[in-house]
Amino acid sequence: MTIKRRPSRLLHVGDVPVGGDSPITVQSMTTTKTADVDATLAQVYSLAGGGADIVRITCNDVAAAQGLAEIVPRSPVPIIADIHFQYRLALAAIEAGVAGLRLNPGNIRKEEHIKAVARAAGEAGIPIRVGVNAGSLDKDLLEKYGAPVPPALVDSALKEIAYLEDVGFYDIKISVKHSDVPSMVESYRLLADRVEYPLHLGVTEAGPPPGGLIKSVAGISTLLFEGIGDTIRFSLTADPVEEAKAGRKLLEILGLRERKGLDLIACPSCGRAEVDVIEVVKEAEAALEAEGLPIQVAVMGCVVNGPGEAREADIGIAAGRKKGHLFIKGQVVRVVQEHEMVEALVDEARKLAEQGVEARLAAADVTAADLAEEEAIELRGLQGDANLAATRRAAVAEVAGE
């Protein structure tokens, strides 16, 4: 399935393109005190390593703005300054060299202040995100609509955009975040029909994992499948590196970004499993992530169906009779002892990344596939066929022959 993206204007945050037909980007935000330059930079580097293309940093006082002046030139990714209430701090952040601003229309209220920031941003050649948030909506709009409903969020964004456009500023991104997923989705749908600017997606105040992850995936994925969205953030009550990793993983799963890291699939385990699948998966995931290999790996609890069910994985291993059956693209290439399963999987994954599929299939143990099939047959005899394949096939043939 190919997702058809909503057309949007192209802009740049530093050297990172946003909108147009550029890749959807991942953002996160530091949680350190910005004035603590070393701690903030350390977190920025961790976020970049976790998959963040752009990092937002609060600029809430003069010390923070001064910190940005040191952070920006040393950052591995573009930095956006998060501004609330005090428009002069936006001007200070521009002076510090940030690659973009985020303004909240709910708390910078004066038109002349907003336009002053827009003029300065235009001169500096940096974009502004109009960041509408249901929790800090303009009081006038709250009074008009009675609650932070989707039309209120969109009206807030359009009002702010008009101020920027009045001074000839068009390097604009927009977000209309809500903590209620259906409201968030509807807000972005309404906005997408009204503007051509790139949209930044997020469920605000999503909370801690796993609930926060579920909310974020539900809202962001719904819109991405509709072609809406140019940059995303998971707003989790957790280490922000988890936000970056989750955002990156989501885009990879949806086929919207090239896979750069591990994609581990595993069976949910059942009574047929010959090993503790959960523990093996944990061990394998930790070992493989440390390798940083961009491959899809499968860990299956039994050899009866494992290699066949996970045949699309680059590499995998299935347990059977105290052994691990290592397979590549569904073909068993090696059999190892159960206690060697993870070690063998990591070793073969390294070789696969270096040599490629064809070379590793050519190096396969010629007896491995036969051994795996023998053990699968033996296990079916001992445990029965959980899928009742023979019975089902016979029933289908009988119906088809009538």
Query: Per residue in 301-355, pLDDT tens?
Result: 877 666 676 778 899 988 877 888 888 998 889 889 988 999 999 999 999 989 9
Rounded CA Rg of the chain: 26
Closest by alpha carbon to 179, among 144, 142, 153, 146?
153
pLDDT in tens, 94-132: 999 999 999 999 888 899 999 999 999 999 999 999 999
One domain for residues 268 and 247? no
- Could you tell me the two tokens for 51? 């998959």
213 and 287 fall within a common domain: no
Q: Is the pLDDT of residue 11 over 60?
A: yes
Q: What is the rounded average pLDDT of the residues 40-55?
A: 96
State whether the Cα torsion 11-15-21-27 is positive or negative.
Answer: negative
The answer as to whether 64 is a domain residue is yes
AA identity, residue 357: V
Q: Which residue carries 């899928």 as its tokens?
A: 387
At CB < 8 A and 24+ separation, what contacts does 381-384 make? 383/271, 383/272, 383/304
302 lies in the same domain as 240 = no
Per cent of the chain over pLDDT 70 is 93
Residue 389 lies in a domain: no
- Please give the pLDDT value at position 388: 57
Q: What is the mean pLDDT of residues 389-393?
A: 67
Has residue 295 been placed in a domain?
yes
Average pLDDT of span 69-96: 97
Q: Which of 253, 278, 304 is the last residue of a domain?
A: 253
pLDDT tens-place string over residues 14-30: 999 999 999 999 999 99
- Strand pairing of 100-103 and 79-83? parallel
Task: Identify whether residues 76 and 103 lie together within a single domain.
Answer: yes
Residues 351-373: pLDDT tens digits?
998 999 999 999 888 887 777 67
199 - beta bridge partners? 174
Is 39 domain-assigned? yes
> Residues 183, 271: one domain?
no
pLDDT at 109: 85
Q: Are residues 298 and 379 in the same domain?
A: yes
Look up residue 303 and give its DSSP letter.
T
Distance between CA 366 and CA 175 in Å, rounded? 57
- Examine the domain organization and report whether 191 and 225 are in the same domain: yes
Q: Which domain holds residue 336?
A: 263-383
Least confident of 49-53, 139-143, 190-194, 200-204: 139-143
pLDDT of the residue at 194: 97
Q: Are residues 292 and 357 in the same domain?
A: yes
**Is residue 142 included in any domain, yes or no?**
yes
Sign of CA dihedral 274, 278, 282, 285: positive
Domain annotation covers residue 394: no
Inter-CA distances, 235 with 106, 138, 222, 227, Å: 19, 21, 16, 21
User: Quick one: 92 and 158 in the same domain?
Assistant: yes
Q: Are residues 73 and 131 in the same domain?
A: yes
Residues 6+ away with beta carbon under 8 Å from 271: 383
User: Residue 385 above 60 pLDDT?
Assistant: no
Q: Is 84 left (phi over 0), alpha (psi -120 to 50) or beta?
A: beta
Strand ranges inside 282-378, DSSP E? 296-300, 315-320, 323-328, 331-337
Which residues, 6 or more positions from 154, have their beta carbon under 8 angstroms from its beta carbon? Answer: 176, 187, 190, 191, 194
Tell me whether strands 323-328 and 128-133 are parallel, antiparallel or unpaired: unpaired
| DSSP, residue by residue, 18-80 | ESTTSPPEEEEE--S-TT-HHHHHHHHHHHHHHT-SEEEEE--SHHHHHHHHHHGGG-SS-EE
Please indicate, yes or no, if residue 249 is contained in any of the structural domains: yes
Is the pLDDT at 384 greater than 60? The verdict is no
Is 77 in contact with 51 (CB distance < 8 Å)? no
Give me the pLDDT at residue 389, please.
59
Q: How far apart are CA 134 and CA 147, in angstroms?
A: 9
Residues 297 and 326 in one domain: yes
Residues constituting the chain? 402
Structurally, how many domains does the chain consist of?
2
Task: Label residue 220 by pLDDT band (50, 70, 90).
Answer: very high
The pTM of the full predicted model, rounded to 2 decimals, is 0.85
For residue 23, what pLDDT is reported? 97
Is residue 282 in some structural domain?
yes
Q: CATH number of the domain at 90, please.
A: 3.20.20.20
Q: Of 201, 218, 253, which marks where a domain is finished?
A: 253
Within 8 A by CB and 6+ apart from 343, the residues are: none
